[in-house]
Amino acid sequence: MKVIPVPCLSDNYAYVLVDTEGKQVAVIDPVEPEKVLKHVEALGMELTALLTTHHHADHSAGNNEVAKAKPGLEIYGGDSRIPSMTKQLKDGEEFTFGSLHVRAIQTFGHTTSSICYYVQDKHNDERVVFTGDTLFVGGCGRLFEGTPQDMYDSLNVKLAALPRDTKVYAGHEYTNSNFKFARSVDGDNSDLIAKAVRCAALPITMPSTIGEELDTNPFMRVDQPALQKATGKTDPVEVLAAVRKMKDNF
């Protein structure tokens, strides 16, 4: 399995997912189709799937063009707002893409159309998750269509349960600004400090891992004393709500 990040717009990421065993390609959120399809063509493999993380236009606006360019393409998504969708996924639904195994994780909070795609390459013992605008490196999405409880469940119940070595590919390059905020509420976290320094020198900070996010992301550390102290709250959901509000105004 190989993942190719494709920077799009001002700070978005689309991704090309390569099944190196089955010689097939999927694309994730190809908002600038020409850029993404250029990578697909260079690989010389068949494009068989398009995975949409949520309906916002900066992620899904390329779907129609890709669908026209590749008739018969399976286009996955979380609700009826996904353009050109051919398959609406339920939470926990599983499917195969070539030799790769994919599980849809419904992650409410940012939108009610949000799906994270957990992909396993069992031949090579590798696993990745495409998190759209639910989980960022060092942050999470704004709560446009969900509650703090929704985002808590998405981050700290569902995504936190994935193996620590799962690579995380998020929908935006927000890492350095996220870390500036994270250090304002969790400033004594040595793992956070080290990762912030490391990422500051990188033009592309993907991938992270679930383990690194559990150790450094304030929205996945809402049960920790430092975050409770910063917010004056002890209930993890209330901590997340407070941290999100603080980030919105940072």
Q: Are 199 and 209 in contact (CB under 8 A)?
A: no
Closest CA to 35 of 56, 10, 9: 9
Q: Which of 29, 55, 172, 186 is catalytic?
A: 172
Catalytic: 39? no
Q: Which of 29, 39, 110, 153 is catalytic?
A: 110
Catalytic: 172? yes
Q: Are 122 and 108 in contact (CB under 8 A)?
A: no
Q: Which of 29, 121, 133, 150 is catalytic?
A: 133
Residue listed under structure tokens 């450094």: 216
Q: Which of 29, 39, 54, 55 is catalytic?
A: 54
Q: Which of 55, 59, 121, 150 is catalytic?
A: 59
Integer CA distances (angstroms), 146 to 102, 114, 198, in order: 25, 10, 32
Closest CA to 114 of 89, 95, 84: 89
β-pairing verdict for 46-51 and 74-77: parallel
Q: Which of 39, 55, 56, 150 is catalytic?
A: 56
CA 15/CA 19 separation, integer angstroms = 13
Catalytic: 101? no
**Coil, strand or helix at 79:** coil
Catalytic center residues: 54, 56, 58-59, 110, 133, 172
